[in-house]
Amino acid sequence: MEHPPAPLQTKEFRVARPQIVGPDVPKAPFPISLQGPVQHGFGRGSKDLGCPTANLPDDAIKPMTSVAKTGVYYGYAQIIPTGGEDIPLRPEDKVVLPMVMSLGWNPFYKNERLTAEIHIMHEFQSDFYGLEMRAVVLGYIRPELDYTSREALIDDINTDKRVALNSLDRPAYRAFARHTHFT
């Protein structure tokens, strides 16, 4: 599948980044609901970037890819045990939590397919492959970028997380933590 090259991240872009994005109330096409079993990804999030991600199957991200451009998004996510798994989740692992999501080709890593990688902002004690993940995407943070270094990518990921938390800390966004999509 052909995809356009991503712009290169620059120092000017990093300095000019807002700390809150989006309107005070989510506007179309948001909210976008996603769900599916967590599957293995490329194994880079935790190891390379210090930012573990949960990946959804390709068919689970169609509601997103049909209306949104590549980039970084924010919202809420929840991991839901489906029963019978031998995966220890604590009560605090099962609640609705803030998340950031990369939708794109990950040009720094030269991906050859479009992926949606969700980072739930919480310290899980174990992996949860195969469990159901539900997400509600509420807003757009920034476009997908390419990077000259892993450190610059990590800096932007950390900024994305702060921007997501700041953007979700508004009444109309906080209400989505109780959205009917979640259990």
Tell me the per-residue pLDDT of 151-172, one tens digit each, with 9 for 90 and over.
888 899 999 999 999 999 999 9
Tell me the per-residue pLDDT of 20-65, one tens digit each, with 9 for 90 and over.
999 999 999 999 999 999 998 766 555 667 888 999 998 999 999 8
Helix (H) or strand (E) holding 152: helix 150-168
CA gap 102, 120 in Å, rounded: 12
Which candidate, 64, 45, 39, places its Cα nearest to that of 131? 39
- What residues are labeled active site? 117
- Omega into 7 within 30° of 0, i.e. cis? no
